[in-house]
Amino acid sequence: MGQEATLVIVKPDGLIKSLTGDVLSRLSKTGLKIIGAKVLEVTPELAHEHYRHLKDKPFYGELIKYISGFLHGENRVMAMVYYGKDAISKVREIAGSTNPEEAEPVSIRGAYGRILTTGLYENVIHASSSTQEAEREIKLWFEPREIVIELYPAKDAVNPQTKKVWL
Ligand code: DAT
Ligand code: MG
């Protein structure tokens, strides 16, 4: 695989537990470049759009409450775009399996994740799982000017304050 980008989100439990520094340290072992990073509040609209492919799952309602902060009284998340060779698989290996109980204990999810009594996996970080998913997610979470390289084609916006929008 060549150079690719992947979206990482430190979810509300990661911020509440002050895990952002540790997540960044662990991900730095990949040698990948951070090409975008910000803290933002997750609106319900963004949450639904991000997880739209899971809307028929039994845990969907809890998942939306989780990512948009209702489970933790905290709707801040930290979003990062990592870029480099095999970025998607390198980040997912350090993240660990989706189910924290099955995740390697040395992975982020294995070390800090848990299963809630509702059955939801509270697993600290999101990481894109394919190049198509990464592109959709990065375009959803970031504007072109927030990323330091020309990652995907963009054009000048009608609104001059926005400067550029994804094509
Ligand atoms: P991943 O985040 O590893 O890409 P996913 O995209 O399939 O996993 O699911 C998104 C999130 O939904 C996941 O991080 C935690 C939650 N989740 C997934 N499968 C679940 C399940 N079977 N039970 C409870 N929560 C689940
Ligand atoms: Mg996924």
Predicted confidence (pLDDT) per residue in 125-155, tens digit: 999 999 999 999 999 999 999 999 999 999 9
Instruction: State the pLDDT at residue 37.
Output: 98
Residue nearest to atom 9 of ligand 1 (CA): 98
Instruction: State the pLDDT at residue 105.
Output: 98
CB 104 within 8 A of CB 114: no
Tell me the pLDDT tens digit for each residue of 70-122: 999 999 999 999 999 999 999 999 999 999 999 999 999 999 999 999 999 99
Mean of pLDDT values over 40-64: 98
**Res. 1 pLDDT band, cuts 50 70 90:** low
Distance between Cα 153 and ligand 2 center (Å): 24
Distance between Cα 104 and ligand 1 center (Å): 16
Contacts of 75 (CB under 8 A, 6+ apart): 12, 41, 42, 68, 69
Pocket of ligand 1, beta carbon within 6 A: 54, 59, 63, 98, 119-121, 123, 126, 129
Domains detected in the chain: 3-166 (3.30.70.141)
Q: What is the largest CA-CA distance in the chain?
A: 49
**Res. 69 pLDDT band, cuts 50 70 90:** very high
Instruction: State the pLDDT at residue 34.
Output: 98
72 is catalytic: no
Assess whether pLDDT exceeds 90 at residue 30. yes
End-to-end CA distance of the chain: 24
CA distances from 147 to 5, 7, 61, 89, 151 (A): 11, 12, 31, 21, 8
Distance between Cα 98 and ligand 2 center (Å): 8
CB 120 within 8 A of CB 100: no
What residues pack around ion ligand 2 (CB closer than 5 A)? 129
Contacts of 142 (CB under 8 A, 6+ apart): 36, 38, 79, 81
Assess whether pLDDT exceeds 90 at residue 160. no
CB 26 within 8 A of CB 95: no
Ligand nearest to the CA of 55: 1
